[in-house]
A and B are shown apart, each in its own frame.
Chain A
Amino acid sequence: AQSVTQLGSHVSVSEGALVLLRCNYSSSVPPYLFWYVQYPNQGLQLLLKYTTGATLVKGINGFEAEFKKSETSFHLTKPSAHMSDAAEYFCAVSVAGAGSYQLTFGKGTKLSVIP
């Protein structure tokens, strides 16, 4: 079975500062990894995904994440935070099993951006 741990349920950064949201996963097979963002009262929007190939993945809105197999991590970063980045961020792992595939999510990290 796979699992995801997001360190820090709440992260606060100043506008213009580096954003770092941590995600560690557990999977017995090569995982596919995703970061989703959720704005208040909205569904989930995909930021980026890692499937195979290049381990540094670039997403929308200036976010990127690096897959580190040795550390079982997939941390999300953005060089300079913007007020519009305030939202909840979810890391997820997907594996295929028994003919289906499902996303297993972490508990989320709420990002606050201080002006």
Chain B
Amino acid sequence: ETGVTQSPTHLIKTRGQQVTLRCSSQSGHNTVSWYQQALGQGPQFIFQYYREEENGRGNFPPRFSGLQFPNYSSELNVNALELDDSALYLCASSPGLAGALAKNIQYFGAGTRLSVL
């Protein structure tokens, strides 16, 4: 069983640029969530995708956007990068969305570390 994989592992960008981060969900998982983990902080929820639709969003501006593809892989796009966007971006997949699924375990990838200079 293949776990959650993210690419790239590290990325350096300059302020104002755009970036795309990629995530392949675990086999059989149709829900993908993205989190931002700033240095010394816990992960913060950015948004969640279920069957190619955004299914919930945290307190992040519209320049953070995403996509989910038919194979359930996902992208996180960030436009007009700011210095504060420097963080570890984590992708997590889970097996479904129905009923009391908040208890479903979210399986995390190793993350993409983004540095904005």
Contact = CB atoms under 8 A, between A and B. Distances in A.
Interface stretch (A11-19, A68-76, A98-106): A98-106
B90 A96 contact: no
B109 A46 contact: no
A82 interface: no
A43 B90 contact: yes
Contacts of B109: 43
B103 A99 contact: no
Contact of A106 (B40, B42, B97, B104): B42
A49 interface: yes
Q: Which of B44, B103, B108 counts the most chain A CB atoms within 10 A?
A: B103
A44 B90 contact: yes
Contacts of B28: none
B72 to A, nearest CB: 16
**Interface residues of chain A: helix, strand, loop or mixed (majority):** strand
A105 B35 CA distance: 10
Interface string B25-49: 0000000010100001111110010
Interface string B49-88: 0100001101000000000000000000000000000000
Given A99-B55, A102-B48, A94 B43 contact: no
A84 interface: no
A58 interface: no
A45 B33 CA distance: 15
Interface in A68-115: 90, 92, 94-108
Interface of B: 4, 33, 35, 40-45, 48, 50, 55-56, 58, 90, 92, 97, 100-111
21 contacts: A32-B102, A42-B110, A43-B108, A43-B111, A44-B92, A45-B108, A46-B107, A90-B43, A94-B102, A96-B100, A96-B101, A100-B56, A101-B97, A101-B104, A102-B33, A102-B58, A103-B35, A103-B92, A103-B106, A105-B42, A108-B40
The 7 closest A-B pairs by CB, nearest first: A100-B56, A105-B42, A51-B103, A101-B102, A43-B108, A44-B108, A96-B102
